[in-house]
Amino acid sequence: MYALTQQFPKKRAFITGAGSGLGRALALALAADGWTIGMADNQPKALEASADMVALAGGKPLPYLLDVADKDQYKIVAEQFLFDAEGIDLLFNNAGVGDGSIFETYSLENYEWMVGINQMGVVYGCWYFIPAMKQQGYGHILNTASAAAIGCAPTMAAYNMTKAAVVAISETLYSELYDDGIQVSCIQPTYFKTNIAQSVRGGAATQKITESFINRSRLEANEVANEILIRAGKKELYIILPKAARTMWKLKRLAPTWFRLKVKDQFMAAMNKALSR
């Protein structure tokens, strides 16, 4: 049993991006502890499959079709979940897309698309659920950023900036909500095995590079979900994983300029290797 289950005996969670990847893994992990889980995704078949899996695992799924970049739709879904579950304990602002390209070749429309999902989707989730948490006097917000917010590797400007924004939002809310009894955690993993490469708009090269990094990773979504839930139970603000990501975070703080050049050289070498295959 997770510490979060003991901390929140009503066991009500809302997860965006629950149709696959980390969102599905988080839902399944909580289902084993008997949580009621609001599962939001914009892919109906994937959402239905995840909901069925959660039910089999012992949870109570409440599926909702949702485009997190649509603030009006998000408002309706948030209100419906609060009505259906009679409150909220855990909010996972997890939905996101990955993509990249050289800064000036990535279209402005793509930048807006990325910001809408990765950044504003987090803003909307916090905006619509914080009042309910304040009224209750408790809750825990978990925002999925990325180690990309630390590394800021070349050719990933749109993704990097949205994930850095999620870190800033999380840090701000941590201090704003602390006295209200609401905890905030910011999740910053490196690449792990998901289907995020399917969302890329930066072209075939970007998809190939993304898939290469994912395939090289030894991390599975269920491992990441388990560590997130354990560390969230300890009320950690920064959930940076795995160990290599925590080392990267420390190096950036200690030697920022050296770190920038090191990331550039290592990323470009890995990218060229991936493209040469």
* Residue recorded with tokens 């239905």: 48
pLDDT tens track for 95-107: 999 988 899 999 9
Which pLDDT belongs to residue 267?
81
Token pair of 131 as six digits: 């009042």
Contacts of 165 (CB under 8 A, 6+ apart): 118, 119, 122
Distance (Å, rounded) from C-alpha 145 to C-alpha 41?
Answer: 18
Distance (Å, rounded) from C-alpha 99 to C-alpha 84?
Answer: 35
Strand order across the beta sheet in which 12-16 lies = 60-65, 36-41, 12-16, 90-93, 139-144, 182-189, 238-241
Whether the pLDDT of residue 200 is over 90: the answer is no
Q: What are phi and psi of 158, to 5 degrees?
A: -65, -45
Which pLDDT belongs to residue 197?
45
What DSSP letter does each residue of 221-263 carry, written as one string?
Answer: HHHHHHHHHHHHHTT-SEEEESHHHHHHHHHHHH-HHHHHHHH
Do you find a cis peptide bond into 242, omega within 30 degrees of 0? yes
E strand residue ranges, the chain: 12-16, 36-41, 60-65, 90-93, 139-144, 182-189, 238-241
Q: How confident is the model at residue 273 (pLDDT cuts 50, 70, 90)?
A: confident
pLDDT tens track for 107-118: 999 999 999 999
Which of the given ranges, 44-48, 150-154, 189-193, 218-222, has the highest pLDDT on average?
Answer: 44-48
Whether the pLDDT of residue 264 is over 50: the answer is yes
Beta bridge partners of 186: 143, 238
Mean pLDDT across 185-199: 72
Token pair of 194 as six digits: 């998901």
Mean pLDDT across 163-185: 98
Q: What is the domain partition of the chain in residue ranges?
A: 3-276
* Mean of pLDDT over the chain: 91
Mean pLDDT across 176-193: 91
Share of the chain above pLDDT 90, in %: 81
| Domain 3-276: CATH superfamily, name plus number | NAD(P)-binding Rossmann-like Domain (3.40.50.720)
pLDDT tens track for 109-149: 999 999 999 999 999 999 999 999 999 999 999 999 999 99
DSSP 8-class letter at 104:
G
Mean pLDDT across 173-179: 98
Distance (Å, rounded) from C-alpha 61 to C-alpha 31?
Answer: 9
Whether the pLDDT of residue 60 is over 60: the answer is yes
Better-scored residue on pLDDT, 242 or 228: 228
Which pLDDT belongs to residue 42?
97
Q: Does pTM top 0.75 for this prediction? A: yes
Distance (Å, rounded) from C-alpha 202 to C-alpha 257?
Answer: 28
Q: How confident is the model at residue 193 (pLDDT cuts 50, 70, 90)?
A: very low
